[in-house]
Amino acid sequence: MESTADASRRTDDAARPAIRPATERDLPAVAEILAPYVLRTAVTFDEVPPDASAWTTRLDELRELGLPFLVAEIDDDVVGYAYAAPWRPKAAYRHTVESTIYLSPAAQRRGVGTRLLSALLDACSLGGVQQVIAVVADDPAAAGSLPLHRRLGFEVAGVLRDVGVKHGRRVSTMLLQRTLR
Amino acid letter for position 15:
A
Mean pLDDT of 111-131: 96
Distance between start and end Cα atoms, the chain:
47
Residue 13 pLDDT > 70: no
Mean pLDDT of 116-125: 98
Percentage of the chain lying above the pLDDT 70 cut: 92
Rg of the chain on CA atoms, in Å: 17
pLDDT in tens, 45-55: 999 999 989 99
pLDDT in tens, 142-155: 999 999 999 999 99
Q: Cα angle at 104 between 165 and 99, to 5 degrees?
A: 60
Residue 8 pLDDT > 80: no
Residue 139 pLDDT > 50: yes
Mean pLDDT of 13-27: 86
| pLDDT for 110 | 87
| pLDDT for 11 | 39
| pLDDT for 15 | 59
Domains, the chain, in order of start with CATH, read 17-179 (3.40.630.30)
Mean pLDDT of 13-38: 91
Mean pLDDT for the chain? 92
| pLDDT for 106 | 85
Contact 55, 69 (CB under 8 A): no
Rounded to whole angstroms, how far apart are CA atoms 31 and 27? 6
pLDDT in tens, 73-120: 999 999 999 999 999 999 999 999 999 999 998 888 888 999 999 999
63 CB-near residues (< 8 Å, 6+ apart) = 69
Q: Give the confidence band of 181 by pLDDT, cuts at 50, 70, 90.
A: confident
